[in-house]
Amino acid sequence: MRKDDILEMLDEARFLKNEIGDSKGAIKECNKILKIEPENRDAMLIKAGALSELGRVEEFVELVNKIIKKWPEHWEAYYLLSMFCFMMKEDDKALELMHHSIKLDENFNNVMSYAHILYLTGNQDYMKYVDNAKKMDKERAENFLKNIWIWDSENLKPALSGTLKAFKAAEEWKRIKKKEKFDLEFK
């Protein structure tokens, strides 16, 4: 298979996950890539994000740990794990992981997400990171603030299916932590 074919498959997986929200389809596409190139980091990262979105916690944690062990200096696995920890109400761990992601590669995604987590946890330093994200990409930052930013988490009412998925993920997360499967160490 040609390198261009793999790149097209990665684009398809990203499109499925990020544009139309088809996490299952993205995982299928990533699995095809990983059959051909078992160490394809992009396919692993896309798959990890999709697994998290589907609440497949144990698979997500195992894959993220594998990515971090293989590429400890790459930012994105820490970013994904941070977002997951925040969803599981592990705010301190989420902030620690996102800060580490930023140290490895400061980019719009991790800076704006760090700002958002700071805001939602009541930390007034969030504006410093919003301003930094605006310096990186003003239009994208303004769109994020307008369309994605959750201004008042007390009034956030997720759809029933999202609530059930989050509840299942939280229960699985508790089970995994009890088994001590979550032993992530990083510099």
Region 139-148 average pLDDT: 89
Nearest to 81 by CA among 112, 115, 107, 57: 57
pLDDT at 149: 78
User: Distance between CA atoms of 100 and 32, rounded to whole angstroms?
Assistant: 31
Q: What is the overall mean pLDDT for the chain?
A: 87
176 pLDDT more than 80: no
38 pLDDT tier (thresholds 50, 70, 90): very high
Other CB atoms within 10 Å distance of the CB of residue 157? 8
pTM: 0.82
**What residue spans define the domains of the chain?**
3-178
Class of domain 3-178: mainly alpha
Region 20-35 average pLDDT: 96
